[in-house]
Amino acid sequence: MKRAALIQRKTGEVEISGHLEIDGSGVSKIDTGLGFLDHMLASLSKHSSIDIELTAQGDTDVDDHHTVEDCAIAIGEALANALGDRAGITRFGTAYAPLDEALARVVVDLSGRGWAEVTLSLQRETIGDVATENLTHFFRSLAANGRLAIHVDVLRGDNDHHKAEAAFKAAALALREAVSETGSAAVPSTKGKL
């Protein structure tokens, strides 16, 4: 069965459409109107091997907040839909990703419960056209709507672009492991449900 879902969200501030396929090859086509967010989402897709096609039209004339938040919500919802009952998945994923002097660690649990602990240690107020506070918010919104627990820690680094990108790459690698199929039909939980 194909693990895929539509990416859809429409509010008074943002309209998002697209498609997500878990068992892809990391192909992405992303246009959010925010260059740095496009870069991070392309990296998330590439290194998770999850195909993501996403177009967003948001109120970027106000600022980047709604577009970043709603893209995370829409991707999280699509990921949760594509995973279905989560039977046969590895569930947990852990990854480290360096980018030059920066090093990030991400641990994921596709538990069915949304929780995010995020320490990016960013110094600048913005990277490109995205407020750095919204990168933390991205991971929190992804966790809540994807029904997953995620711990994102930038362990070291000097360059904020490198730190943020290392975090997204580590998240991608951890997700890649967590969504991988075990060959079992069982739900990986003592509760019998995720």
Q: What would the 3-class secondary structure string for 46-75 be? A: HHHCCEEEEEEEECCCCCCHHHHHHHHHHH
| Model pLDDT, residue 7 | 98
CA distance 57 to 147: 25
Helix 35-48 vs helix 160-179: crossing angle, to nearest 10: 40
| Model pLDDT, residue 1 | 79
Distances (CA, A) of 116 to 4, 33, 64, 106: 24, 26, 21, 11
CA distance 194 to 190: 9
Contacts of 9 (CB under 8 A, 6+ apart): 15, 16, 70, 73, 74, 77
8 A C-beta contact, residue 186 and residue 87? yes
Sort strands 149-156 and 115-119 into parallel, antiparallel or unpaired. Answer: parallel
Q: What ranges do the domains of the chain cover?
A: 4-179
Q: Residue 41 above 90 pLDDT?
A: yes
pTM here is 0.98
Query: ∠ CA(108), CA(42), CA(147), 5° rounding?
Result: 30
CATH superfamily assigned to domain 4-179 = Imidazole glycerol phosphate dehydratase; domain 1 (3.30.230.40)
8 A C-beta contact, residue 175 and residue 48? yes
| Model pLDDT, residue 40 | 98
3-state secondary structure (DSSP) of residue 140: helix
Which uninterrupted H or E stretch holds 109? strand 102-109
Q: Rounded mean pLDDT of 40-65?
A: 98
Q: Residue 147 above 90 pLDDT?
A: yes
CA distance 139 to 149: 10
pLDDT per position as a tens digit, 87-129: 999 999 999 999 999 999 999 999 999 999 999 999 999 999 9
